[in-house]
Amino acid sequence: MKPFYTAEDKKQAWEKMDMLGIRDLAKQCFRDLSGGQRQRVLLARALCATKKLLLLDEPVTGLDPIVTAEFYQLISRINKESGIAVVMVSHDIESAVEYASHILHLQETVLYFGKADGYEKSRAGKTFLGGETHV
């Protein structure tokens, strides 16, 4: 085990911080950051550890609606620009339908698996999103 970060490790960290717009947080203590800033720092850390797959468990819990929308847009951009697959557990199904390419809806069993644009037309989607009138 290496006791210190290599120059390449540090370069990668700066690149991820730039990608997420958090370079200005480099010298701040994690506990002093806002919820949205913390999520971005944790995301940068995860991105330094992966090249293919990002697993997120309820990443927007506790964030205000504006920061939540920004975070989803950021995840979408990372997926499209870097090609990193994103698997996310979320109870925010409306945002999942908006930003995801595929939906797996579980409730003791698989209720739906397929493309996000088909979810709203599915029985599970209609039930969960409030029926036919949901836009």
Residue 80 contacts residue 48 (beta carbons within 8 Å) = no
Give the per-residue pLDDT at 46: 94
- The pairing of strands 110-115 and 102-106 is antiparallel
How much is the average pLDDT of 127-132? Answer: 77
Residue scoring higher pLDDT (107 or 131): 107
Give the per-residue pLDDT at 129: 87
SS3 106: strand
In the chain, the DSSP E strands lie at: 53-57, 85-89, 102-106, 110-115
**Which residues are registered as beta bridge partners of 4?**
none
**Whole-structure pTM value:** 0.78
pLDDT tens digits for 17-60? 999 999 999 999 999 999 889 999 999 999 999 999 999 999 98
CA angle 111-64-72, nearest 5°?
55
Give the per-residue pLDDT at 134: 42
